[in-house]
Chain A
Amino acid sequence: MTAETGTKKSTILIIDDEKHIVHVVSLKLRNAGYEVISAGDGEEGYEMACDQQPDLIITDHQMPYMTGLEMCHELKKNEETSHIPILMLTARGYALSEEDLKNANILQSISKPFSPRELLDSVKGSLAA
């Protein structure tokens, strides 16, 4: 699996209010050849997803204004964004249920602390699916 689909690099949107999380994930994905865009909260992330139509979204769950889960529900409702696969990072003490994931169009929930290496594998798997 390469980071390119045809001649175009895959674009990944990273949404997290922790700037260092955005930094480390972006660096890992850029080094792997992906195009990376980022947002600092759910509202901004939703607007960016609508505008940029990324190939994949990686979002944190616990964020101000609009949580990651709320944003995923909004993206699923929107015809223009309902097709975008989503990976969710969560630092909460419990995992989201299968039903929550399905209802919000989330392919996979990844618990923090996470390994950038394993996250990259998940990204590749999600884009290949």
Chain B
Amino acid sequence: MVRWARDLSWKAALVGGAGTGLTALIIRLIGVGAASSLSMAHIGLMASGGAVVAFGIFYPLATAADRVFSNILKRLISNDNDNGAALLSATPAWLRSATTEFENALADRMQMERDISVALKESEIRQHVAEASRGHLESVLHSLRDAVVVTDGFNEIVLANESASELFGLNGPSALNGKVEDVIPEQQIVQMIQSMRDSGNVAARRSFEHEINDRNDDRILEVSLSCIPDQSQSGGGVVTILHDVTHERQVSEMKTDIVSKTSHELRTPLSLIKAYIEMLIDGEAQDEESKIEFYHIIQTEAERLERTINNMLNISRIEAGITHGEWDECDVKGVINDVVELSTPRAQEKKIAITHKQSQLCTVAEADRDMIQQVIMNLVSNAIKYSPEGGRITLTTGSSDCDRSILVTVADTGLGIPPDAIPKLFDKFYRIKNYDRVAHGTGLGLNLVKQIVERIHGGEIGVESELGMGSKFWFTIPCKRAA
């Protein structure tokens, strides 16, 4: 019987698989049966039933069944062990009770499984949300114009956004986990990251300015560093944010430069007016001729001051969109004739010949006549200023853009323009250095011309020149005003 029971135990264990609790129960049951007078039929029934249950519900239910049968066994043991078999056979309600208890346990177990399944799904959802959140944060980091570099406690790069990769020329994922000193070529930044990590002070933030000198692209960076709290064995890391302030600095310098140049252009004629008036008051003009000379200089400088202020205001108005022009039909040939007539006396002082090669084409455009006259006058005035004695100035009209625009050119035999000056020629206050010895100017005239042609009339302006060989300025204006 014992041998049979051992076989049965082995089979139950085999069928039950992981249901070791159930197998233990059977063995314990056999032990009890061997010691008592438990019938073979009951034992066989128990063992077979256990094996079937184990087979049906596998491991998850095995422990539940284990608990149920343990209870039954305990109950049997706690009762009269000697009469256990009799108890079993004499009380069929026991089986019903056991079945009910088993069913309840099974229901509990299934509920537990459902709860676990729900918990698993919730966990999966939380994981998805966390992944989405991380992805979102990474997208935000990568979209930042500021470069962001995160290093860990070993000074290894754990995150570098796209701006950082671009700034330091990092090669994608290979830069990650690299030592900061191997990846970032800027020694000062590396030292500050290492020093920040060594300090471990999460409350402190350090900022400094760093200049990256590149052959073609110098940059000024505002670098700020802060420590990440220590959350690992490697110790706290460092977040480094690099804000490129190159453009801000350039704008700031440009503003300072414009203020300085404006000041110079206004103060110089004002200086002369004030000085000559004081000289007259102090009787420093010793004869009538000197007095007339002083009056003439005062008048010239007052006109210069007025011209500068007007140019500045006109440019400012056009840029602000306040000036829109007085639109009418304007014959550009007629405007050129007027300019030639007005400029001839000044040109004759230097024996410069002004020629207008009149076009046979229609040169009527919808334009602000006064403004177009100001443009041509300015170009001719420059040509006179920077042409040597005996030079030539030639004005032409033509058409461009399949007769939809009128083309005007002003060519001279003057000094010409250095190639490096051409891109800046129409900038506010730009002056070609060498030209200052030849004639004075505010550096506003050509900027105003450009604003009138391009902003007001929707045309184009440009210059072709060779140093020492003269210059040819050209502009176009559409025949019809854009709707």
Taking beta carbons and an 8 Å cutoff, which residues of A are in contact with B?
17-18, 20-21, 23-25, 27-28, 31, 40-41, 62-65, 91-94, 111-117
Question: Are B279 and A28 interface neighbours, CB within 8 A?
Answer: yes
- The contact sample of 22 A-B pairs, CB cut-off 8 A, is A17-B436, A18-B268, A18-B272, A18-B440, A21-B268, A21-B271, A62-B264, A63-B436, A64-B436, A64-B437, A65-B433, A91-B264, A91-B267, A91-B271, A93-B259, A94-B260, A113-B270, A113-B271, A115-B274, A115-B278, A116-B275, A117-B278
In the assembled complex, the CB of B242 is this many whole angstroms from the nearest CB of chain A, namely: 31
Question: What residues on B are CB-neighbors of A112 within 8 Å?
Answer: 267-268, 270-271
**Restricting to B266-308, which residues have a CB under 8 Å from any CB of A?**
267-268, 270-276, 278-279, 282, 284, 297, 301
The chain B residue with its CB closest to the CB of A115 is B278
Question: What residues on A are CB-neighbors of B260 within 8 Å?
Answer: 92-94
Q: Is B434 an interface residue (CB 8 A)?
A: yes
How far is A128 from B436 in the complex, measured between Cα atoms in Å?
35
Q: Is B263 an interface residue (CB 8 A)?
A: yes
Question: Are B276 and A24 interface neighbours, CB within 8 A?
Answer: yes
In the assembled complex, the CB of A123 is this many whole angstroms from the nearest CB of chain B, namely: 14
Question: What residues on A are CB-neighbors of B262 within 8 Å?
Answer: 93
In the assembled complex, the CB of B286 is this many whole angstroms from the nearest CB of chain A, namely: 8
Question: Are A20 and B278 interface neighbours, CB within 8 A?
Answer: no
Q: Which of A24, A93, A117 contacts B263 (CB 8 A)?
A: A93
How far is A91 from B434 in the complex, measured between Cα atoms in Å?
20
How far is A28 from B276 in the complex, measured between Cα atoms in Å?
10
Question: What residues on B are CB-neighbors of A17 within 8 Å?
Answer: 436-437, 440
Question: What residues on B are CB-neighbors of A18 within 8 Å?
Answer: 268, 272, 440
In the assembled complex, the CB of A8 is this many whole angstroms from the nearest CB of chain B, namely: 24
In the assembled complex, the CB of B437 is this many whole angstroms from the nearest CB of chain A, namely: 7
How far is A40 from B270 in the complex, measured between Cα atoms in Å?
20
Taking beta carbons and an 8 Å cutoff, which residues of B are in contact with A?
259-260, 262-264, 267-268, 270-276, 278-279, 282, 284, 297, 301, 433-434, 436-437, 440
The chain A residue with its CB closest to the CB of B266 is A91
Query: What's the dominant secondary structure at chain A's contact region?
Result: loop
In the assembled complex, the CB of B415 is this many whole angstroms from the nearest CB of chain A, namely: 14
The chain B residue with its CB closest to the CB of A119 is B275
> Given A28-B279, A115-B275, 18 other A-B contacts at CB below 8 A?
A21-B268, A21-B272, A21-B275, A64-B433, A64-B437, A91-B263, A91-B268, A92-B263, A93-B262, A112-B270, A113-B271, A113-B274, A114-B271, A114-B275, A115-B278, A116-B278, A116-B284, A117-B278
How far is A114 from B268 in the complex, measured between Cα atoms in Å?
10
How far is A40 from B438 in the complex, measured between Cα atoms in Å?
11
By CB atoms of chain A within 10 A, which of B276, B284, B301 has the most? B284
- Which 5 A/B pairs are nearest by Cβ-Cβ distance? A93-B263, A113-B271, A91-B267, A64-B436, A112-B271
How far is A115 from B271 in the complex, measured between Cα atoms in Å?
8
Question: What residues on B are CB-neighbors of A64 within 8 Å?
Answer: 433-434, 436-437
Question: Are B267 and A41 interface neighbours, CB within 8 A?
Answer: no
How far is A28 from B272 in the complex, measured between Cα atoms in Å?
13
Q: Which of B271, B272, B284, B433 contacts A31 (CB 8 A)?
A: B284
How far is A57 from B92 in the complex, measured between Cα atoms in Å?
130
Question: Are A24 and B437 interface neighbours, CB within 8 A?
Answer: no
In the assembled complex, the CB of A113 is this many whole angstroms from the nearest CB of chain B, namely: 4
Question: Are B436 and A24 interface neighbours, CB within 8 A?
Answer: no
Question: What residues on A are CB-neighbors of B264 within 8 Å?
Answer: 62, 91-93
In the assembled complex, the CB of A114 is this many whole angstroms from the nearest CB of chain B, namely: 6
How far is A21 from B270 in the complex, measured between Cα atoms in Å?
11
In the assembled complex, the CB of A92 is this many whole angstroms from the nearest CB of chain B, namely: 5
Question: What residues on B are CB-neighbors of A63 within 8 Å?
Answer: 436
Question: What residues on A are CB-neighbors of B301 within 8 Å?
Answer: 20
In the assembled complex, the CB of A15 is this many whole angstroms from the nearest CB of chain B, namely: 14
Q: Which of A20, A41, A65 contacts B272 (CB 8 A)?
A: A20
Question: What residues on B are CB-neighbors of A113 within 8 Å?
Answer: 267, 270-271, 273-275
The chain B residue with its CB closest to the CB of A94 is B260
Question: What residues on B are CB-neighbors of A114 within 8 Å?
Answer: 271, 274-275
How far is A19 from B244 in the complex, measured between Cα atoms in Å?
45
How far is A114 from B275 in the complex, measured between Cα atoms in Å?
7
Question: What residues on B are CB-neighbors of A31 within 8 Å?
Answer: 284
Question: What residues on B are CB-neighbors of A93 within 8 Å?
Answer: 259-260, 262-264
Question: What residues on A are CB-neighbors of B436 within 8 Å?
Answer: 17, 41, 63-64
Question: Are B433 and A24 interface neighbours, CB within 8 A?
Answer: no
Given A18-B268, A40-B437, A64-B437, residue A117 in contact with residue B282 (CB < 8 A)? yes
In the assembled complex, the CB of A47 is this many whole angstroms from the nearest CB of chain B, namely: 15
In the assembled complex, the CB of A101 is this many whole angstroms from the nearest CB of chain B, namely: 18
How far is A117 from B279 in the complex, measured between Cα atoms in Å?
8
The chain A residue with its CB closest to the CB of B300 is A20
Question: Are A24 and B279 interface neighbours, CB within 8 A?
Answer: yes
How far is A91 from B260 in the complex, measured between Cα atoms in Å?
8
How far is A92 from B258 in the complex, measured between Cα atoms in Å?
10
How far is A115 from B46 in the complex, measured between Cα atoms in Å?
124
How far is A23 from B263 in the complex, measured between Cα atoms in Å?
22
In the assembled complex, the CB of B135 is this many whole angstroms from the nearest CB of chain A, namely: 51
Question: What residues on A are CB-neighbors of B284 within 8 Å?
Answer: 27-28, 31, 116
